[in-house]
Structure 1
């Protein structure tokens, strides 16, 4: 009986360790996407910034005034709101919370800050739902304000 209990505990620990390893890999992939987005934004590359988003008509972007549906509509919204690099400024993300909901979904809360020379700086918060689609983590819903 004692041996069975020890085997059960070892099995449980190995499952927990495996789950943590998978989580660390997922976190690293998502954090790399944040870095890629920040670099693209800071280079004035909105299309590159959008590489972190799900390229689907089902993408949802919730801003302070409206909900935008779809990848192309979200990209066009960014282009309208940030028509040039001076307006875009330099983007900095600060991740506040990272919660894996299940093996395919992650919920992230963070802050964004735009440092701008010619205009007033902007900042706010965001909540993102990420989904693993075709072995890639992408944002399927973005609520930024």
Structure 2
């Protein structure tokens, strides 16, 4: 009887767990998933589709601040110029937090398994909904 009661309680709360993730959050998580797949195929242009294609895009990395979509893409191409440098990317999300109807804040960990030596670090992203599309407007990766 106790097992049956536990099962019924779990079934009652399961829909609430599923609904806890909003449609916007699902889109953001899908964007990060799509970026991972693009990276692992060696397709930096497809990887960049998650970013705001604008001169105001801000990327903060170990070498400082880079502004602009094209500059960020050029840095990726320069620093990850082939399969040995790109390796296999994995993201582990730590936090996905809605700040407002227009902004989400994401914190996670990235890891590259590669022939040139594994590297990893953390990132925080600021997503903004622009013209109905969620895009990364700020990326701070270390």
Q: What TM-score comes out, normalization by structure 1 length? A: 0.83
Find out whether 1:122 has 2:102 as its counterpart. no
Q: Which residue of 1 aligns with 2:34?
A: 36
- Alignment length (residue pairs): 126
| Misfit runs of 4+, over 4 Å | 20-23
Q: CA deviation at 1:62?
A: 0.2
Q: Which residue of 2 aligns with 1:139?
A: 136
Q: CA deviation at 1:23?
A: 5.7
Q: Secondary structure at the match of 1:54?
A: coil
Between the aligned partners of 2:69 and 2:108, the Cα distance in structure 1 is 21
Q: CA deviation at 1:21?
A: 5.8
Q: What TM-score comes out, normalization by structure 2 length? A: 0.85
* Selected match of 1:105 from 103, 106, 119: 103
Q: Where does structure 2 lack aligned partners over 5 or more consecutive residues? A: 1-15
Q: Secondary structure at the match of 1:101?
A: strand
Root mean square deviation, CA, Å = 1.6
